[in-house]
Structure 1
Amino acid sequence: MSQVKQDLLNRRAKAVAKGVSTGTVVAVKAEGAIITDVDGKEYIDFAGGIGVVNVGHNNPRVVEAIKKQADNILHTCFHVAMYEEYIALCEKLIEIAPGDFEKRAALFNSGAEAVENAIKIARHATGKQGVMVFENAFHGRTLLTMSLTSKIKPYKLGFGPYAPEIYRIPPAYCYRCPLGREYPTCDIGCADLLSKSFIGRAAAENLACVIAEPVMGEGGFIAPPKEYFPKIQNICRENDILFIADEVQSGFGRTGRMLAMEHWGVVPDLTVMAKSMGGGMPISAVAGRADIMDAPHVGGLGGTYGGNPVCASAALAAIAALEEDNLIQKGAELGDKLVNRFKELQERHAIIGEVRGKGPMLALELVLDPKTKEPAPAKAKELVSYCLDKGLILLSCGNFGNVIRTLMPLVITEEQLEKALSIMDEGLASISQ
């Protein structure tokens, strides 16, 4: 480690709050799928800013849009002086959001803020307070979204009391089925847990919404069977409960589709978007049915920086890159290739208990024994460390911390991908010894 890097780490220790986690990479440049640190070492990025740069680091379209907008307006606050970029992005998002009904959108700053506003909108529109979420879910770190989030450490420990009127049921986690069944002979009984929850957990008459990640992010990249979400949505409709899709991490090409819910053919009442929507800039949105979105009174939604013109311009450019540079199709092809390669790794490395996900949003769940499925969090940590040393940035996740997830930019080159997979193969062999 160079003295320059050590000095920066020392400065970080003295100036930045301990609760803010960081890795040891100190970035000075990022482009495409490569991050260069202060020592000049290049890293292949399989983290993507935690799912933020699907269109690649410093995407030329996004950078140009930022520069152009910065020459005109940096900030006015949309509530004070509106600007076209906010309106244009909302127009684009209601085009992207599923459903052939009339739609509206509103812009915010972060995924957590958008989730929180989606809950506000659902409560106002229905006149009900309860929210049903899933175990293993991650929806953010604010008081309400932290309360929605399942994992205690590190997200909730010591930060209570939590927000009330939040209820939880097990998800469709086939590898560790909460009902001890096997797909496809299970009749998707896990979806029926929602109906059963109306008896002993929360009356349907008090539930404003059910909120779900199409593919669970921090919870372990869990993707339910094709029948699951349609069944959940039907239960919601039968009981006048709104269905909200949290597409913060799974959206904008991450699963080989613009929005992940397309894989299930489900049309949510509201869709939450963020992360890769902004191409690296902080912006988020809620889009959905006009009657629901328009329910809150004037002034009930908003925020000082929500839909900032520079961020909105970046988002429009990022969406253009996805659509016009064929990145969504490339993502689908990348996902197909990764599934095959990860299945090959699974055949050679018994520590991989399951390969799962959608498109290039994939996970390897590491276990000490394929038969007992005992989680291997220490091995996952060891693999992340091994790969980082070799020039590959990986992230672990899951309630047990034993899942390796892939969030590489969709612009990754063939050479970069092959090198990264080779490092992973070597790392898996090393930790399996």
Structure 2
Amino acid sequence: MTKPIHYDGEPQSNATRDVITDHEPVGLRTYTPSQAVLAKSSGVFHWTPEGRRLYDYSSGVLVTNLGHNPSRWFHNFGKYLQWTPEMFRPVAQAHGYHEAVTLTAYNAITPIEAQAVERLVKNIRQSELGKRLDSVMWAASGSEGIQKALWACLHRDEKRDLIIATRYGFHGKKGLAGAVTGCETDKDRDPRVKFISFPMQEIDDISKVGKPLDLKTYQAELDKLWDEYGNRLNCLITEPYLGGGGSYHPPAEYHKLLQNFCREHDILLIFDEVQANFGRTGRMYAFEAYGIEPDIVVLGKGLGNGVPVAAAVGSQSLFNSLKYGEAS
């Protein structure tokens, strides 16, 4: 890390910052001038080892939608994993192991996995706009979920090898997830990705709030791509709103334009809701807020409320384009 910051009256925090500086590289974290040391958290608050209370305005980088360590959530989390009070007392079993949920199953199946996938599919299909979503590919991070969604699309028809992405989105840092992030002027671009405009300037202009969006420019961009590449265009990935480098919420007609274009040309529509899901737009899923019926929706962050889990949810027929091992 960078040179550690020391604060008077924070001996434990200062010592912790020293250790991290000595043994962890700068690249492990994004820039943070505070170097805050968080010893415990509850609801919307953190506490330093010295007991100073800090307000969390970002819900753990838009992850803990329910707040930090919610009691009811933790109770159910432990129940599903079959954790009992005895597990947290000194080990009494002769063999030194507890009987509880299998935490690593690899190619096997666990009942809790079946329960999770059944509940997620049922929840998402309660919306009329989620009816085509009946299959789940689990992942450990949002960017991994994006990768799997893109793999499935590209395997549907390998002759359709091009991806459309809206500019300035953030989908990940590496691989295909990184390739569809940012814009075409960034370094190390993947030639398979073609970028189109996102209405950032119109959203920035307060005088245009509530006014209809002029869609002609965006339609022209899409038509130009189709004229140039035609059936090579496989899928289109976008975020409901841009949450990296600001917060840009487009009017619904923009997303409906993208959806109409995709439907007209049999292009798959991927909605990256890793940040926007589970209530951040006022609806359980952001596609409901925008009136969109995606072919794949990618979920994360609030899905696990701090547990590293994400999911790409789509149709079974689409996801079955991936053969054994291709999404593992």
Same fold (TM over 0.5): yes
* Equivalent residue in structure 2 for 1:285, among 304, 307, 311: 311
Contact in 2 for aligned 1:143/1:163 (Cα 8 Å): no
Helix, strand or coil at the partner of 2:173: coil
* CA shift in 2, pair 1:223/1:185, >3 Å: closer
Between 1:210-219 and 1:184-193, the stretch displaced more is 184-193
Alpha-carbon offset, residue 136 of structure 1: 1.4
Residues 1:299 and 1:42: Cα distance change in structure 2 (over 3 Å): same
Alignment-derived partner of residue 61 in structure 2? 50
Aligned counterpart in structure 2 of residue 100 of structure 1, from 128, 131, 137: 131
What residue is the counterpart of 2:153 in the other structure? 122
Matched, 1:168 2:195: yes
Cα distance, 1:221 vs structure 2: 1.7
| Residue 141 of structure 2: aligned partner | 110
Does residue 1:217 correspond to 2:243, yes or no? yes
- Which of the residues 215, 232, 241 maps onto 1:188? 215
Change (3 A) 1:101 1:161: closer
The 2-side partners of 1:283 and 1:18 are apart by 25
Alpha-carbon distance in 1 for matches of 2:115, 2:239: 26
Structure 1 residue 183, shift from structure 2 partner: 6.9
How far apart are residue 151 of structure 1 and its match?
Answer: 6.9
Equivalent position amino acid for 1:54 in 2 = N
CA offsets, 1:291-313, max 9 Å, x none?
112221132222xxxxxxxxxxx
Match of 2:103 in 1: 75
Question: Counterpart of 1:18?
Answer: 26
**How much has 1:270 moved relative to structure 2?**
0.4
Q: CA offsets per residue over residues 143-165 of structure 1, 9 Å max, x none?
A: 22122110799xx7xxx644441
- Asked if the contact 1:33–1:45 (Cα under 8 Å) also holds between the matched residues in 2, the reply is yes
CA apart distance, 1:74 = 4.5
Specify which of 146, 157, 173 is matched with residue 178 of structure 2.
Answer: 146
Match of 1:246 in 2: 272
Is the CA contact 2:141–2:300 (under 8 Å) kept in the aligned structure 1?
Answer: yes
| Distance in 1 (alpha carbons) for counterparts of 2:132 and 2:224 | 31
Residues 277 and 299 in structure 2, CA contact (< 8 A), matched pair in contact too: yes
Preserved CA contact (<8 Å) 2:241 2:248: yes
Contact 1:108 1:283 survives alignment (8 Å): yes
Asked if residue 271 in structure 1 is aligned to residue 297 in structure 2, the reply is yes
Q: TM-score, normalised by structure 1?
A: 0.63
Say whether the 8 Å CA contact 1:172–1:190 is kept in structure 2. no
Comparing 125-134 with 258-267, greater Cα deviation is found at 125-134
> How far does the alpha carbon of each residue in 1:103-161 deviate from its partner, in whole angstroms, 9 at most, with x for none?
111211000000000000111123322111111100012222122110799xx7xxx64
Whether 2:323 is the aligned partner of 1:297: answer: yes
Write the letter of the residue equivalent to 1:262. Answer: E
Distance in 2, matches of 1:5 and 1:219, equals 29
1:88 Cα deviation (Å)? 1.6
**Partner in structure 2 of residue 257 of structure 1:** 283
Q: Take 2:62 and 2:237, find their aligned partners in 1: how far apart are those partners?
A: 20
The SS at the match of 1:204 is helix
Tell me the CA shift for residue 38 of structure 1. 2.0
Q: Distance in 1 between matches of 2:217 and 2:74?
A: 45
SS of aligned partner of 1:19: helix
Cα separation, 1, equivalents of 2:292 and 2:103: 37
Structure 2 residue identity aligned to 1:93: L
**TM-score when normalising by structure 2:** 0.82
Distance 1:60-1:264 versus aligned 2 partners, 3 A rule: same
- Equivalent residue for 1:30? 41
Change (3 A) 1:264 1:278: same
1:60 is aligned to 2:91: no
Which is bigger in relative contact order (C-alpha 8 A, separation at least 6)? 1
Q: Do the aligned partners of 1:204 and 1:241 also contact (CA within 8 Å) in 2?
A: no
Gap regions ≥5 residues in structure 2: 1-6, 84-99
State the alpha-carbon separation in 1 of the partners of residues 217 and 310 from structure 2. 31
Q: Decide whether the 8 Å contact of 1:59 with 1:279 is kept in 2.
A: no
The separation in 2 between residues aligned to 1:42 and 1:183, in whole angstroms, is 39
Equivalents in 2 of 1:96, 1:187: separation in Å? Answer: 35
Q: Is the 8 A contact 1:33 1:56 kept in 2?
A: yes
- The residue that corresponds to 1:226 in the other structure is 252
Q: Which ranges of structure 1 fall in alignment gaps of 5 or more residues? A: 303-433
Q: 1:138–1:218: 8 Å Cα contact kept in structure 2?
A: yes
What secondary structure sits across from 2:28 in the alignment? coil
Larger radius of gyration: 2
Aligned sequence identity (%) = 27
Letter in 1 for 2:74: V
Equivalent pairs, count: 291
**CA distance in 1: counterparts of 2:311 and 2:241, whole angstroms:** 18
Question: Helix, strand or coil for the counterpart of 2:19?
Answer: helix
Matches for 1:263-412 after TM superposition, within 5 Å: 263-302=289-328
